[in-house]
Chains A and B, each alone.
Chain A
Amino acid sequence: MSSWERFTDTFLNGKVMLRYLPDILSGVVVTIELALLIVVTGIAAGLTLALLRSLAIRPLNWLIVFVVDLFRSLPPLVIIVLIYFGLPSVDLSPSGFASTWLSLAFVLMAFSEEIFWAGITSVARGQWEAARSTGLSFGQTLMHVVLPQALRLTIPPLTNRTIAITKGTALGTVVAVTEILGQASSAMSNSYNPSPLMMGAAAYVVLFFPVVVAGRFIETRFAWKR
């Protein structure tokens, strides 16, 4: 056997790949589900916090800033481990899926709150005053004047951050979530062959590479024109 054949036989073994393809595919489904859940709930929670912060209730804002800082400074894996291994001690046993979802959604919430808040504060004070003086209510000013301008500004950083955090779904494998990496790892130990891992790696590239390229496009499309 030539060394090239030995290499492909080890890392790109057709028989092993075919056998574990269904496992990897089911992992892809779990990864996509998890990612969508994180993105939707994380961004919605972040926007809600930013809107609450714009009400300028002091004690509430301190709380919001603290929560945001907390989830910006803790490593996501630490949060996942804390929820998954910590909560059972008080008779709450979230699944690995729920732990990963909650943790990464909290992290995305924190980062997106910062980004939304930066967007809201970037809209000049005079705009608020002008809108309010035309008779719009606080809520109407926020909805029709401030947010449309603020959101445009937030799109590039939000896209980048969302991609970075969604990639973190792979961390779920540490708490036994059957996403791509988890499936690939167990297939590798079952077959004693790294081909499933290569398949898993390829699945991540297929899944996330287009998103990164689209993110690059969005970044230039919505770039702040000076």
Chain B
Amino acid sequence: METLIQTFFNPGIIIAAWPIVLAGLRNTVLLSLLVVPLGLLGGLILALLASVKSPAVRWPLMVWVDFFRAFPPLVLLVLLFAGLPFAGLELGGFVCVAVAFFLNTGAYYGEILRAGIDSVAAGQVEAARSTGLSRLQAMAYVVLPQAVRNVLPDLLSNTLEVVKLTSLGSVVAVPELLYQARQAQSITYNPTPIVVAAVIYFAMLWPVVRLLSRLENRALAGR
């Protein structure tokens, strides 16, 4: 037991590594605040395009979305980070993460928002249009607010996944929580910093998981 604590919860190392890990936490929060809106924006663009009922738009869109659902985000990230420099384009880890998330999580958000828009009855749009609202106004003021509410649990669940996914930034040297923890681990030769990072992730995201679990159960009970 003593050695277990010395190895995984070493108090001295927790204190020494704390500033390093904390800087990582700050970057993870900042990164999340950047990539979640970016993904939502990408998703909104896709969902709005999908509301155009022309097959010439729908099919390429479906292929686009399925492509990014099939493509592992880490591969996308490595492709941008290690592949693009060969074309003379060096974006840096941070920008690569932003672009990869815009593409990857945008596809997921897009699917969710599309389902939300589809869930709003067609009569609503017709009614809104007949009161003189333009198509864009009907979408912004009538359809989207209801659509978002209908798929709120899915949006939240995807946002949780996006925040977890920011840990991929560690692979391209973005100094977020996991990266900083691994730095601290290699300095101290002790896995305690990684345990600390895991505890921070858990403390930060557990409330969200609990909330989601409740929302999902309620949705099911409502059937």
A72: which B residues are within 8 A, CB to CB? 160, 209
Known: A73-B206, A74-B164, A78-B178. A201 touches B71 (CB 8 A): yes
Please state if B220 and A121 are interface contacts (CB–CB under 8 Å).
Answer: yes
Known: A82-B191, A82-B195. A213 touches B217 (CB 8 A): no
Known: A78-B167, A89-B7. A197 touches B70 (CB 8 A): no
Within 8 A of B (CB), among A137-196: 163-164, 167-171, 173-174, 180-181, 185, 188, 193-194
Please state if A86 and B195 are interface contacts (CB–CB under 8 Å).
Answer: yes
- Cα A173 to Cα B78 in complex, Å, equals 11
B217: which A residues are within 8 A, CB to CB? 118, 121
B213: nearest chain-A partner, CB-CB:
A114
Please state if A78 and B201 are interface contacts (CB–CB under 8 Å).
Answer: yes
- Cα A81 to Cα B190 in complex, Å, equals 13
> A81 touches which one: B8, B194, B206 (CB < 8 A)?
B194
The residue among A73, A188, A205 with the most chain B CB atoms within 10 A of its own CB is A73
Within 8 A of A (CB), among B164-181: 164-168, 170-171, 178
> B78 touches which one: A11, A168, A185 (CB < 8 A)?
A185
- Cα A81 to Cα B201 in complex, Å, equals 14
Residues 114-148 of A, flagged 1 when their CB comes within 8 A of B and 0 if not, give 10001001100000000000000000000000000
Number of interface residues of B (CB under 8 A): 50
Please state if A73 and B72 are interface contacts (CB–CB under 8 Å).
Answer: no
Query: Interface residue tally of chain A, by bracket?
Result: 35 or more
> A204 touches which one: B71, B170, B185 (CB < 8 A)?
B71
Q: Does B202 count as interface, using CB distance less than 8 angstroms?
A: yes
Separation in Å of the B215 CB from the closest CB of chain A?
A: 11
Chain A positions within 8 Å of B, measured between CB atoms, are: 7, 10-11, 69-70, 72-79, 81-82, 85-86, 89-90, 114, 118, 121-122, 163-164, 167-171, 173-174, 180-181, 185, 188, 193-194, 197-198, 200-201, 204-205, 208-209, 211-213, 216, 224
Which are the 6 A-B pairs with shortest beta-carbon distances?
A208-B70, A73-B205, A86-B191, A75-B164, A170-B72, A75-B167
